[in-house]
Amino acid sequence: MGAVLCIVLFLSVAASAHPVSVSRSLVYVAGDEVRVTVEVFLEDLFLFHDLQPNVADYLDADTIQQGIELHRVFVVDRFVIQNVDGHRLQVRQPVDVTFDIPDGGVALAELMSHKLTFQLRYLLEAAPEFLTFSQRFSGDDGVLPAEMQLTVKQEGGDVLHDKALVTGVPVTLRFTWDGPALSDKSSDKERAVWLAQEQQKTLGLTSYSSVYSFLYVEDFEVRHEILIPLLTLQQIITLPHDGDEFFSLAEQHAAAPLIADHFRTGNPVLIDGVESEAVVSRCDFYGLDFRDLARRAEPQQVSLSSARVGIILSYPLQQAASHVRLQWDRFAKMLWSVNVVVFDGTGGFRKTLTRVGGNDTVEWNSGVRKSLPHVQVVPAQPARRPAFDISAISVGLLLLTMVVVGRKVAKVGRGRRTAVAVVVLLGCAWGCRDTDVGKLTVPTGPRPSITDDAAAAVFATLHANIYTAFRFRTESDIYDALAFSASGDVLQDTYLTIVEGLKMEEQGGAVARVRQVDILNGHRSDLSDQSRSDQLPEGFAYRCRWNVAGTVEHWGHIHERTNQFAADFRVESVGGNWKVTHIDIVDNRRLHFSTGLRELLGPVD
């Protein structure tokens, strides 16, 4: 009984001390202002401001009033709302406080029985798209635990957020004002439609505190893209920072190689059983207003509480992979799990990897190895000149006839015998014309031009070769493949012309991957300045109109564009093969551009 009494007494004392700050913040976001009600227990004033009780263990009225004034400043300073650029919203003064102070004060044992409310107002210049909320109610030394429940409601809509706001862990929320907001009365169907629309607007990157991992398996490259909050990185890697609320350009420049090296040497990737070395192709810092991460952000300072870092690791391939294995070993204290999405040419799947339980690996299998892009050589076979076949005997008899006739001209008086001889020789020549003895081919005209059908077939192969070359990933490999279809003199011009046609200005000039090429029409014409040759066929000009569909993919979303081109080509024989020797683009127009989420066709874990 004595032991039980001691335990009850201990728990009572512990409960009365309650060394935890417990509060609640109710946030209402309108188009022109944010109104916040912060509810705290009276005990917070005692804990944070070293209020002294009287001899009866009471906080008298004057002491409580003193604590209210101190806590008014504390709440304004420690409850933080930041805009899209990371700047703090300024509280409109005065801050109203609701609490009826008892005349006799409040006993220390009853501090948790009394609540105070602080009314904060923030004026807005425009309806916000993003707001970031954070709290530091744990005190300057961070020793005192602080529990805050954050509830955020948008004007005309439903509650957007109702979860605990942990000290030092900001929460960023997105607000939509261009459509009907959800309400408590919204149906499940309306909520599903709204959620799909929001996913499309944010390109699927709906959480600003989550780590995203995307593994792309392509013909000549495996690419691992990681999107991680800057605050999370700070807990994993010691990054240079002066302690303010922003991460400057100089700090980004110093941090980039540290971040790149951390991921380059971790998260090993095995391709067909061989561990591959990563090449860090990008390490960028993004703010909240930058949703389309396929484009590179303009250099600028970012908010420490809401910035994200994008790291792209590339693993070049000499041939298409059949098996890829990624092991996540870059977990940390605040990073226990990560969702990895794997994409290949036909679909993809998602798997959640965790720090414990041996579930830190994702694997992709193609089943069969893809063949390499095929570039065809197009031999330029000389066109056959019109001719007829005749035997050598007939030719000899004809020559003899010519000799006889010549002698008749030289000597007069042999007309009858000469005429008979000529007739006999011509008859014999005619009679022997089809014999197989010493058959000769005699041309009867100039070498003909290439036919329209043959020119169209030659051009279609060369045109396909040019775009097939751009399936290779390195510039040297592309040049090598182009050399089969373009002459050395215009090889660089051909490369630059095609690259320019594949650039997506909407994506900061990113070069699209060719997905489909369709020739719409074309016609051949002669080259006016082409010298004819008995050894090589003449070249030809070809005007063609075609469509090119290309894509740029990053971070789980895909940009698709279709352009239509018209150009004049010059095709000639170079080294015995047909090659393009000139390209002149005469028309270039966009037919289609869209941005969407990559669909997962495989199972979702």
Question: What is the rounded CA–CA span in Å between residue 201 and residue 26?
Answer: 27
Among the residue ranges 15-19, 253-257, 549-553, the one predicted with the least confidence is: 15-19
Q: Is 374 among the domain residues?
A: no
Share of the chain above pLDDT 90, in %: 37
Largest CA distance in the chain: 166
pLDDT digits (tens, 9 = 90+) for 208-235: 788 889 998 888 889 999 999 999 998 8
| Predicted local distance difference test score (pLDDT) of residue 535 | 42
Classify 19 as helix, strand or coil: coil
Say how far apart CA 4 and CA 376 lie, in whole Å. 90
Q: Of 179, 195, 228, which residue constitutes the final position of a domain?
A: 179
3-state secondary structure of 305: coil
Q: Report the pLDDT value the prediction gives residue 349, as an integer from 0 to 100.
A: 87
Report pLDDT for 438: 56
Residue 545: what are its φ and ψ, rounded to 5°? -125, 130
For 483-538, how does the pLDDT look when each residue is reduced to its tens digit (9 = 90+)? 988 987 788 888 888 888 777 655 555 667 888 899 999 998 877 655 444 444 56
Residue 147, both tokens: 């529990």
329, 395: one domain: no
Nearest to 104 by CA among 71, 151, 49, 61: 61
Q: What is the pLDDT of residue 250?
A: 95
**CA dihedral for 442, 446, 452, 458, sign (positive or negative):** positive
CA 364 to chain CA mean position, Å: 20
Quick one: 127 and 239 in the same domain? no
- Judge whether 204 lies within some domain: no
Q: Does 502 fall in a domain?
A: yes
Residues 393 and 533 in one domain: no
Q: Does residue 421 form part of some domain?
A: yes
Residues 496 and 585 in one domain: yes
pLDDT tops 50 at residue 8: no
The predicted-structure confidence for 330-345, as pLDDT tens digits, reads as follows 988 778 889 898 988 7
Residues 218 and 153 in one domain: no
DSSP track, 230-268:
HHHHHHHS-----SSSEE-HHHHHHHHHHHHHHHHTSS-
Structure tokens at 84: 């899209």
C-alpha distances in angstroms, 60 versus 54, 109, 279?
A: 7, 13, 67
409 and 464 together in one domain: no
Distance (Å, whole) CA 570 – CA 580? 6
Looking at residue 107, its pLDDT comes to 93
- Can you tell me the distance from the alpha carbon of 223 to that of 81, in angstroms, rounded to the nearest whole number? 37
Residue 588's CATH number:
3.10.450.540
Looking at the structure, tell me whether residues 308 and 434 fall in a common domain: no
Structural domain contains residue 157: yes
Domain identity same for 361 and 473: no
Are 340 and 404 within one domain? no
Digit-coded pLDDT (tens) for 85-143? 999 999 998 999 999 889 889 999 999 999 999 999 999 999 999 999 999 988 666 56
Supply the range of the domain harboring residue 119: 18-179
The CA R_g of the chain, rounded to the nearest whole Å, is 41
515 assigned to some structural domain: yes
Q: Please tell me the total count of domains within the chain.
A: 4
- The answer to whether position 30 is within a domain reads yes
Query: Does 201 score more than 70 pLDDT?
Result: no
Average pLDDT, the chain: 80
Q: Are residues 465 and 580 in the same domain?
A: yes
Verify that 247 and 286 share a domain, yes or no: yes
- CA–CA separation, 438 vs 150, rounded Å? 104
Contacts of 584 (CB under 8 A, 6+ apart): 567, 568, 569
Helix 475-482 and helix 452-469, axial crossing angle in degrees, nearest 10: 170
Residue 226 maps to a domain: yes
> Do 349 and 307 have their domain in common?
yes
Q: Which residue has the tokens 């564009």?
A: 561
CA distance 420 to 413: 14
Nearest to 386, CA basis, from 447, 450, 449, 454: 447
- % residues pLDDT > 70 (the chain): 73
